Chains A and B, each alone.
Chain A
Amino acid sequence: MKAGIVLFPGTNRERDMAQALRLVSGREPVMLWHRDTALPSLDLVVLPGGFSFGDYLRSGAMGAHSPIMREVRAFAEAGGHVLGVCNGFQILTEAQLLPGALLRNASMRFLSQDCHLKVENNISPYTRGWSKGDVFRAPMAHGDGNYNAAPDVLDRLEGEGRVAFRYAEANGAVDAVDPALNPNGSMQAIAGILSENGRICGLMPHPENLVDPDLGATDGVPLFKGLVESLVA
């Protein structure tokens, strides 16, 4: 699997993402600069976490207008796979490659803590490493992760099975109104979603930070394994 990681000014989880991709796929990802106007031949484009342009406007709003995003859009329109994590998810919504918006956390504070994610769909490359209903641990670290969308958009996401991950309790219980279970206040406890063709995925928590047994946990491995299985011809 040939993966490229886009670096925006202010991106800060590119090394984490590279480490995860390297560990699970055995292949070194290429780093792409936000001003690049062409993509190399790739199986996967990743928009990693961080604070692109300081997020001094809305989170991800400036990054969505970087020159490389024209190429990312073309890549996606041609059926390419795009993963956005945290700030990457925010950029994907700002670029309207995924629907909805990520507002300030309901607590109005930055949240850095472990959460549990329930896998709601296991047919996309991003989720096939799990079974539907599986629960895994992932750290979250964001100030703006409160997923919001218009009612009809939510209905479509739910109806088409495009909610990939939901915040949950370790036992799988979901309760969108309980801040202990849905820490940032996301609508319907949505933590990650898929595009219509299932090839673009955005999620707020960081599975890339839980892939190395030497650091104590491997909960995030199935996401990357699933991608490798899907994208290695």
Chain B
Amino acid sequence: MSQTVDAALAARFGLTAEEYGKVLNIMGRTPSLTELGIFSVMWSEHCSYKSSRIHLKTLPTKAPWVVHGPGENAGVVDIGDGLTAVFKMESHNHPSFIEPYQGAATGVGGILRDVFTMGARPVANLNALRFGDPKTPGTRRIVDGVVRGVGGYGNCVGVPTVGGEVNFHSAYDGNPLVNAMTVGIAPRDRIFLSAAAGIGNPVVYVGSKTGRDGIHGATMSSSEFDEHAAAKRPTVQVGDPFTEKLLIEACLELMATDAIVAIQDMGAAGLTSSAVEMAGKGGVGIELELDNVPQRETGMSAYEMMLSESQERMLMVLKPEQTDIARKIFEKWELDFAVIGHLTDTARITILHKGKLEADIPLAPLADEAPIYERPFVHTPGPVRLTTVPDPVGIEHALLTLLGCPDLASRAWIWNQYDSGVGGQTARRPGTADAAIVRVEGTRRGLAVTTDCTPRYVHADPSAGAAQAVAEAWRNITATGAKPLAITDNLNFGNPENPEVMGQFVDAIKGMGDACRALDFPVVSGNVSLYNETKHPNGRRISILPTPAIGAVGVIDDVTQAVGYAMPDDCDLVLIGEQRGDLGQSLWLREIAHREDGAPPVVDLVAERRNGDFVRSQITSGKVVACHDLADGGLLIALAEMSIVSGVGCKLVKPLYDSAALHAHFFGEDQACYVIATKSGIAMIEAAEKAHVPARRLGRSGGKNLDLWQQIIVPVTRLRAVNDAFFPTFMER
């Protein structure tokens, strides 16, 4: 390639004039094409976090159980018995719009590598998905491709997909969100990190061969979409879950030896970012000889090899005397294994190809002088609280409408395409508990895992909405009886150069931080995805709803103590928590009153913690038969979901509040509330009073109907039929 390197080319690579000036300063000369490529991907939003970094630093990341917080490939928390949970969530939004199947599949592959690169065997996958309006042409195609892609990859690698969430909104029409989370388990004393060490130690490449796919993927992920988005298809990578499975087994086999000094997967920006980060973290230099890189195409240039995002590749620094042991393991698994360089004492990355020095960059300034922006922002105007909204349709009609709406309809059509049982440890499958539970192999312990975010709340009030996302994740873990430990965040926002979007980001971080501190629920890993906006031919820019998706992990000492929300006959039903009867930003308001306004529900973090700690203690002391938190759709939807999953009805007593406010109490999305099924409601309410936790009796489980004091009687079979209808009808028509 004989392209002239100048400011114009730098601009095409996504570097501003000022950033290119910095490059010239650091290099003291015009960079080569390969060098410019390296700077541009390392300084892309995706790799450098240049717009978000100063804000992310305010999040709490520590707790006694946190082993490694942000900064490693994934977060690590202690779960007892000398074991840790290793987890992270990451977005693959842009690729999934361009090519849904491969975009989603490689999103799963990438996050798996982040986890097993640390020495953890992946034990659970989750995914948080946001799609456009079901009525928009194209939404179906994207849903179909993404679901097939997530399943195609996860099923083949043999990691159970146990949870996640799905929302639909027109704001995602041109920019769906695919956030994939992996949780793994590793011995606490066998965590592998990425900091390279040992001058002269070999740098080893393993996995798939390098091709020309995904070149500049990280740069693409750092810009908005326009009408030419489809032309970016060549920047999307292609996944090979079979090779990933072999890579998992080979890496874990190698990790049982002591051959590895450092290891890092080749994710965004491929060989460039793994080499630069490993050497940079270790404070050493690195020299690569690209002739030795396994290649699946001929005639690749240094630039192409350094920027390729071919999947299923890892970079390692090995102890020289153990290289042969490692080679034999990778040969057994029929994976490429190549020594492609060594560590140096130059503190520079030097790249040789065909006898020519293609790049020679000092590592410290490449990292330290990466741009950081304190972008201007404006706060989202405070939402106007709703005044009373009359009920135009009645309780029964609203109940059935909500149960059948895209955001509440049964997700079974999706789960049933994901293998949720492989591994043989899945104790609570999707759709049976507020968090999925996976037993830790060889112990009685269980990990509770969930992902949560309610983007419409965040849009209305970024701080309260983001706090709600953290609180809901904490509550979902709590509702199974597990102790919430820590979160990973996947912050999906629009264009940070738009002060309103930047304001959403800044306030959301504040809300998240508040909730994390109040709930002792630190952030241990995360990912930021900006520029999620679509530029229409008429020049209008549509931003996604701000979506800080929260992935959470908790632990329960004995999986047999965990509860789901299926309830048997003849239990007392008790509501824990205080109802406010607020309909602002509720699904009822959107689906029934056709309005999307008002303030989101109040998040009282003190009540959240007090109520949750009470519920958890009741579950682990065996007093709770079933538990379900109040979330989208409110109290009556929570009860209906308990009936649907168990096939058991419930008989509710007439509540004391004003009948004109009945719909607000049944469908208001009150926070910090749980419905509990228990053998003794009286004992539960007494215990709650002692703990200063609001509690009231709702009625009893039993029969075949959802029965509201004999005024409204709906058969559970009807609830289920309505709830089941949306996805098959939408997708298989």
- Please report A residues at the B interface, Cβ cutoff 8 Å: 9-10, 12-13, 15-16, 19-20, 49-51, 53-56, 109-113, 139, 141, 143, 206, 208-209, 212, 214-216
Contacts and interface: CB of A to CB of B under 8 A. Distances in A.
Contact of B417 (A49, A54, A112, A212): A112
Contact of A110 (B155, B157, B240): B155
A212 to B, nearest CB: 8
Interface string B115-150: 000000000000000000000000000000000100
B377 interface: no
Given A214-B560, A216-B427, A112 B421 contact: yes
A215 B416 contact: no
A13 B415 CA distance: 19
A209 B423 CA distance: 8
A12 B153 CA distance: 13
The 10 closest A-B pairs by CB, nearest first: A12-B158, A54-B242, A16-B424, A141-B419, A51-B156, A113-B416, A112-B419, A209-B421, A110-B417, A19-B424
Nearest to A209: B421
A141 B334 contact: no
Nearest to B430: A112
Nearest to B334: A9
14 contacts: A9-B245, A9-B246, A10-B246, A12-B245, A13-B158, A15-B424, A53-B242, A54-B240, A54-B245, A110-B419, A112-B417, A139-B421, A208-B424, A215-B559
B439 interface: yes
Q: Which one of A20, A112, A139, A206 has the greatest number of beta carbons of chain B within 10 Å?
A: A112
Nearest to B439: A215
A19 B440 CA distance: 13
B422 A141 contact: yes
B426 interface: yes
B416 A111 contact: yes
Interface string B553-581: 00000011000000000000000000000
B424 A209 contact: yes
Contact of A10 (B242, B416, B422, B426): B242
Nearest to B245: A10
A13 B156 CA distance: 11
A208 B421 CA distance: 10
B418 interface: yes
Contacts of A139: 421
Interface string B157-169: 1100000000000
Given A51-B242, A214-B560, A109 B426 contact: no
Contacts of B424: 13, 15-16, 19-20, 208-209, 212, 215
A200 B416 CA distance: 29
A71 to B, nearest CB: 19
A110 to B, nearest CB: 5
A86 to B, nearest CB: 10
A16 B423 contact: yes
A214 B444 CA distance: 8
Contacts of B444: 214
Interface residues of B, number: 34
Q: Which one of A20, A109, A212 has the greatest number of beta carbons of chain B within 10 Å?
A: A109
Contact of A109 (B158, B334, B417, B425): B417
B333 interface: yes
Contacts of A55: 156, 242
A20 B425 CA distance: 11
Given A9-B242, A9-B333, A110-B419, 5 more contacts: A51-B156, A54-B240, A112-B155, A113-B412, A141-B419
Contacts of A51: 155-156, 158, 241-242, 245
B333 to A, nearest CB: 7
A53 B245 CA distance: 10
A211 to B, nearest CB: 9
B441 interface: yes
A12 B154 CA distance: 11
Contacts of A208: 424
Q: Which one of A20, A53, A110 has the greatest number of beta carbons of chain B within 10 Å?
A: A110
B161 to A, nearest CB: 9
Contacts of B420: 112
A112 B125 CA distance: 15
A56 B240 CA distance: 10
Contacts of B441: 15, 19
A54 B155 contact: no
Contacts of A53: 242
B402 to A, nearest CB: 25
B341 interface: no
A127 B420 CA distance: 26
Nearest to A214: B560
Given A10-B242, A12-B245, A110 B158 contact: no
B526 interface: no
A111 B419 CA distance: 8
Nearest to A54: B242
A212 B423 CA distance: 13
Contact of A112 (B245, B415, B559): B415
Contacts of A214: 427, 439, 444, 559-560
A51 B242 CA distance: 8
B246 A206 contact: no
